[in-house]
Structure 1
Amino acid sequence: MRRWLVILSVLAVLVGTLSGCLLTKDSPEDTLRSFAEALQRGDVDAAAGLTDNPAAARTTIKSIFEGMGSTPKLSVTPDLVDDKKVTGTLDHQWQIRNGNTAYQTSVVLTETDSGWRVRWQPSVMHRQLRDGQSFSYSDDRAYRTPVLDTNARPLMTWQAVTLIDLERAQLASAGQLARALRPIEPSITTATIRKLFDGNKAPSQTVIRLRDSDLERVQRSIRSIAGITTTEQGALLSATKALHSPAMAGLEDIWRSAIDATAGWSIQIVDKEGAPTHLVDSAQPGETSPVRTSLDRDIQAQAQRAVDRERRPAMIVAITPSTGGIVAVAQNDAADRSGAVSLTGLYPPGSTFKTITTAAALASGGVQPTSQVPCPGRTTIEGRTIPNEDEFDLGTVPLPTAFSRSCNTSMGALANKLPADALTSMARRFGIGADYTVPGLTTVTGSVPNADTPALRVENGIGQGTVTVSPFGLALAEASLARGETVTPTLIEGRGTTGDTEPRPIPDDVVRALRSMMRDTVTRGTAAALQDIPGLGGKTGTAEYGDNKNPHGWFAGIVGDLAFATLVVGGGSSAPAVQVSGEFLRPLSN
């Protein structure tokens, strides 16, 4: 796709002394200037109409503009005047993405019954141009420039692909084509192929783009299908078919901007068959550095394997706390049907939000890590009845026990004692509620509105009410806790993230207390199924929504320099998220 800079406005420079005929209304000066201005604004008919052979001029000028994808900037210099003929010079300047090319042509104007006209010949547009010839512009980009992961391994590379197109006139072949493609892409059906033709009149549609390895598997099956055409081209693809992520969806735009910035180019005169006959000008491409990302192929692959084992929509987001680099974003097929929900989907966080509630309570000074708090099976606070899961009753216990066992009744009581904006303010320290512009990504962290009523403070304190987070936002919160301050997320090396929140520290004593409580959650609390993973700390969550028949299940945690959040939509409890997290972490810990 050609992308052109805006062509500058007309610049006309007149040189020389002209006779009085040039000062009249239909003077050769007027004609030459009008011809140049028409070319410059891309008005083919107007420019051709100012020549003595409009039909021939129109054909040539139109083909040049189409071949260049742009119009030239022109200046005019009349040279010699006599009674019947004026000669002049046109200075052509074509402004190209990474430079420009300039040359001059000579123009002859003759007086006709219709007034002064440009004597048409192709050399008006370039001195080497002949009848039947045109211009052809081509970019010279460094397509082999790779996109790399954090360890400089290929993440995306330029590869050969084959487009499989189906003609509208042979739409009856849709079922046969869908069956042939089923071994490599079962999501393509007769209905999805037919839908490609709805609402348009295109004579054909591309059904699929195949890597060479996939083409080999189906080539024999599709060869005999009526209405099928194949086209070979290059494309930027993931290094392996199994490597895919919502975090990779925007990398091609970043890659294209990189190779565009250093692109070379050439302008050729070509004959009717498109064969080059003369090089007008060219520029060699500059050196293009690989696009480097924070993604880690190994961690991404393991996250993908973990979510793929879950039949319900499942996702994992992982971030490196020390750098803010996003190392993995994985969704299974069930989640993919709803879009990039790992990055932008908003869900109630349930008990994972108790990390924020506990942080706010500790920071307020109203409670200490050694404080004893009641954990009844059910309690009523400001008219709102709060039960624990299955109404378990621990009596009065230390705060770390209430946290690790996920006591709703304890946390609701703590939240009720906080100011209306306490959870909002603390959540932003953890990155939740902040708005970031991450080059290459669209993200949403979550929303934690002020709780203006006691009942809402209680609801929000246990991750229900008006609180929502994305898996990305919760992973960012875990990364901020691990680092002890708000983490700014990044994806592309050298392209900084901007946001509406400046990094703010989380008090050291709060960090120490929470990390200890999260470790307790794994060693003897609600995430004890993960106690075999060295150094892991985390928080489980079960989040009610709708009719609460199938609440969401969460697990978020920190292990070493890795923070993550796992969500199983409609998981029923936190157990599926804990299981997916274990399948993600165990191979990495080994």
Structure 2
Amino acid sequence: MGNLRALSLVLSVAVLGGALTSCDNGSQAAAKAAADQVSKALSALDVSQAPLSGTDPSAAQTRLKAIVEGLGDVKPSVSAGQATTSNGTTTVPFDFRWKLSGREWTYTTTARLAQNGDKWTVEWSPTLLAPGLQSGEVLVADTKAPPRADILGAGDAKLVTDRPVLRVGIDKTKVVAQDQDASARALATLVGLDPADYAKQVASAGAKAFVEAIVLRDAPGRTPTDQQITAVSGAVLLGDTLPLAPTRTFARAVLGTVGQATAEQIQKSNGALQAGDETGTGGLEEQYDDELRGQEGVTVYAVASPDAGGAPSSASPSASPASSAKPSPSSSAAAKRQLFAAAPVPGTSLRTTLDPRLQQIAEDALAKVGPASAVVAIRPSDGSVLAAASGPGSNGYNTAMLGQYAPGSIFKTVDSLALLRGGATPDLSVECAPTLTVDGKTFQNATGYPSAHLGTITLRDAYAHSCNTAFISQRDKVSQEQLQGTAASLGVGVDGGVLGAPAFLGSVPGDATSTEHAASMIGQGKVLFSPLSAAVMAASVEKGGVVAPRLVLSGGEKDAPTAPASGSPSGSAAATASASPRASAVSKPVTQAESGTLRDMMRAVVTSGHAGFLMSVPGAPVGAKTGTAEFGSDNPPKTHAWIIGVQGDLAVAVFVDEGGLGATISGPILTDFLTKAGQ
């Protein structure tokens, strides 16, 4: 009796197993193949050729397109599982994975398979596309962007934060049709736009559209005024906020700006950005956009489609899940079911070392300088970049950190350290001749060099008055390789690894011909500095050790390469890996004793040299070195004007392209900066 029961149990299990997997291996393979074809078709959002039953594939394609249209221009990743049969019904699971505004929506649906002879098909049903999706429903994604995080300065001062703005434009509902063209042209003229172009935009917009002309800071003294704007028929002002710096020009080249994503940015974002998204452009705003922007929240609803007599499924056929922070029209419809939700993730504020007061002082000092120009200020004790201003003549380029120019006589600071290491002292007698010829090339002193300081003078005096021929005469005591190593001792060309932004940190070649070596002794030839690297050199002298500049306090070195030497200030540094040595790899950093001697020589530039104008600066004693670097083929040649200065725990570099003499052009800028910085 027991054996009969056991046999009955075995037979029952066998029958049940046959019910669960009634297909033979060949049929299972065919069913799986059909399911795989459909999963690939769903991944492509094109089922027009898929093995479907229950409807014509072309009709299924039309319905599929309508169902997913509200999710935007995205496609899912779909994979089919193993087909199984139970009670005569064969089913297959489909695993869906959507990436909507960078958020993943995953789920599994179950589809029925049908067999006709040796041919298998997947039965079409809305539930194939999303769990519980009903006939007449479509999918719609609403997005909500979190507030963009701030860029902070020293003491966590808000450098870039949401500030009030006014969106100015024509509201076509507030002006009769025949007057719209005249109103558009009048408003465009008032705000400085092309009247014809703006009139075309207004004419082509919908009958109830608001056509934005310009966004203005909502600040006292603004022009045009509210009264001037609203005097134009149909012109309105809409209050809003935007991430902005304190002024339009404040550290713009360093910080960047925030605006609507361009087509190029959207294409490069791999789905993270959609039309209408705000994103960073240039500077830190672009470099750290992911952190600052955070992640949009996404909610997916099943709603009744217009064809089914329900609410509209999306704002437009091209609507995308990240196209706006505003909900689509469907979101306000009563009949909707939530299928997925991911909350917005706030961005992370970016902390920097920029001192807003010193940055503004630097920008004010450059406000009336015509050529490209820069002021960079560093705190030697910790390397913090306190100001990095590029003047209006830089036309938006980050001259302060990326410019590449011959440094001229400020490089004599490197020469002096190299000579000191070779046994020289500031009292070393050197010969300052009016001219000096090296292998057929004649070098001379800068225009206006004082004749009283020609002849045999001390190294200190040659440095203070910047005698080119005296330093070139010492070229045999310092090799080109030694110049390169000594420059690194003062932080030139050294990647400290903590700046957090693209920069050119200087370049000194290790090999040179005899004339190039002579030119290197006066900061020309192939020697290149940025204003930042000049400030680093001055800071290293003040500190008595290699200063590693730092700007970004959170985010570190991410995407912050060092620019290579290219000889062109317009070369981009953003995609070039640094070949510069790390600060920790500098073989012989400047010592306290060496720095003390260099500081005394820099002080002599002020007390007995041609930077005596700095004696008027209140506070701690100022040390300095001027520089004038010739470039180009003009006769007389154009010159770059440099000056570096140190005062207490502050090191500053000033640069003016095509600026004449360092003392007369850059000197007053440094005087102005240090005087106001100390107030």
TM range (shorter): 0.7 to 0.9
Name the counterpart of 2:401.
343
- Cα distance in 2, alignment partners of residues 438 and 122 from structure 1: 54
Distance 1:521 1:30, change over 3 A: same
Q: 2:301 aligns with which of 257, 260, 268?
A: 268
Name the counterpart of 1:369.
426
**Structure 2 counterpart SS, 1:34:** helix
Name the counterpart of 1:576.
665
Shift of 1:589: 1.0
- Cα distance in 2, alignment partners of residues 259 and 566 from structure 1: 31
1:92-107 alignment to 2 at 5 Å?
A: 92-94=96-98, 100-107=104-111
| Structure 1: segments with no counterpart, 5+ residues | 1-14, 183-187
Contact in 2 for aligned 1:381/1:413 (Cα 8 Å): no
Q: 1:179 aligns with which of 183, 189, 195?
A: 189
CA displacement 1:214-256 (0-9 Å, x = unmatched)? 9983677677999999999764322443523311122223553
Name the counterpart of 1:12.
none
Name the counterpart of 1:149.
153
Name the counterpart of 1:419.
479
Q: Match for 2:405: what amino acid?
A: Y
Q: Match for 2:46: what amino acid?
A: V
Contact in 2 for aligned 1:21/1:27 (Cα 8 Å): no
- Cα distance in 1, alignment partners of residues 237 and 490 from structure 2: 51
Shift of 1:357: 1.2
Name the counterpart of 2:14.
none
Q: Match for 1:363: what amino acid?
A: R
1:214-363 alignment to 2 at 5 Å?
A: 217=224, 235-249=242-256, 250-259=283-292, 264-271=297-304, 272-273=312-313, 274-276=329-331, 277-285=336-344, 289-336=348-395, 339-363=397-421
Contact in 1 for aligned 2:151/2:158 (Cα 8 Å): yes
Shift of 1:302: 0.7
**Structure 2 counterpart SS, 1:421:** helix
Question: Which is worse superposed, 228-237 or 564-573?
Answer: 228-237
Number of aligned residues: 559
Q: Match for 2:527: what amino acid?
A: V
Distance 1:132 1:440, change over 3 A: farther
- Cα distance in 2, alignment partners of residues 129 and 347 from structure 1: 65
- Cα distance in 2, alignment partners of residues 229 and 436 from structure 1: 51
Shift of 1:375: 2.4
- Cα distance in 1, alignment partners of residues 638 and 359 from structure 2: 28
Distance 1:318 1:420, change over 3 A: same
- Cα distance in 2, alignment partners of residues 50 and 492 from structure 1: 57
Contact in 2 for aligned 1:22/1:30 (Cα 8 Å): no
Contact in 1 for aligned 2:51/2:120 (Cα 8 Å): no
- Cα distance in 1, alignment partners of residues 359 and 168 from structure 2: 30
Q: 1:44 aligns with which of 37, 46, 52?
A: 46
Shift of 1:96: 6.4
- Cα distance in 1, alignment partners of residues 413 and 401 from structure 2: 21
- Cα distance in 1, alignment partners of residues 517 and 401 from structure 2: 26
**Structure 2 counterpart SS, 1:485:** coil
TM-score normalised over the length of structure 2: 0.72
Shift of 1:148: 0.8
Distance 1:216 1:190, change over 3 A: closer
Larger Rg: 2
CA displacement 1:420-456 (0-9 Å, x = unmatched)? 3121221222233346777763221232223533322
- Cα distance in 1, alignment partners of residues 50 and 382 from structure 2: 61
- Cα distance in 2, alignment partners of residues 353 and 171 from structure 1: 61
CA displacement 1:461-514 (0-9 Å, x = unmatched)? 111222221212212222222233332222221333475312231133321111
**Does 1:90 pair with 2:94?**
yes
Name the counterpart of 2:279.
none
- Cα distance in 1, alignment partners of residues 363 and 406 from structure 2: 23
Distance 1:132 1:463, change over 3 A: farther
Name the counterpart of 1:528.
612
Q: 2:598 aligns with which of 514, 524, 527?
A: 514
Q: 1:545 aligns with which of 627, 631, 644?
A: 631
- Cα distance in 2, alignment partners of residues 384 and 300 from structure 1: 42
Name the counterpart of 1:185.
none
- Cα distance in 2, alignment partners of residues 27 and 374 from structure 1: 95
**Structure 2 counterpart SS, 1:20:** coil
Contact in 1 for aligned 2:439/2:514 (Cα 8 Å): yes
**Structure 2 counterpart SS, 1:580:** helix
Name the counterpart of 2:81.
76
Question: Which is worse superposed, 298-307 or 256-265?
Answer: 256-265
Distance 1:572 1:239, change over 3 A: closer
Shift of 1:312: 3.1
CA displacement 1:524-553 (0-9 Å, x = unmatched)? 322111212233211111111122443221
CA displacement 1:270-306 (0-9 Å, x = unmatched)? 4524423122232444565421111111111111101
CA displacement 1:541-581 (0-9 Å, x = unmatched)? 11111224432211112222222211111112121211112
Contact in 1 for aligned 2:378/2:539 (Cα 8 Å): yes
Contact in 2 for aligned 1:48/1:58 (Cα 8 Å): no
**Does 1:471 pair with 2:531?**
yes
Contact in 1 for aligned 2:628/2:642 (Cα 8 Å): yes
Contact in 1 for aligned 2:631/2:639 (Cα 8 Å): yes
Shift of 1:353: 1.1
**Structure 1 counterpart SS, 2:155:** coil
TM-score normalised over the length of structure 1: 0.81
Question: Which is worse superposed, 428-437 or 315-324?
Answer: 428-437
- Cα distance in 2, alignment partners of residues 439 and 42 from structure 1: 44
**Structure 1 counterpart SS, 2:669:** helix
**Structure 2 counterpart SS, 1:443:** coil
Q: Match for 1:517: what amino acid?
A: M
Distance 1:225 1:446, change over 3 A: farther
Name the counterpart of 1:10.
none
| Structure 2: segments with no counterpart, 5+ residues | 1-17, 171-179, 257-282, 305-311, 314-328, 562-577
Question: Which is worse superposed, 390-399 or 58-67?
Answer: 58-67
Distance 1:391 1:256, change over 3 A: closer
Distance 1:490 1:137, change over 3 A: farther
Q: Match for 1:130: what amino acid?
A: Q
Shift of 1:418: 1.3
Shift of 1:103: 3.3
Q: Match for 2:353: what amino acid?
A: S
Name the counterpart of 1:3.
none
- Cα distance in 2, alignment partners of residues 211 and 42 from structure 1: 45
**Structure 2 counterpart SS, 1:267:** strand
- Cα distance in 1, alignment partners of residues 286 and 461 from structure 2: 48
Contact in 1 for aligned 2:145/2:296 (Cα 8 Å): yes
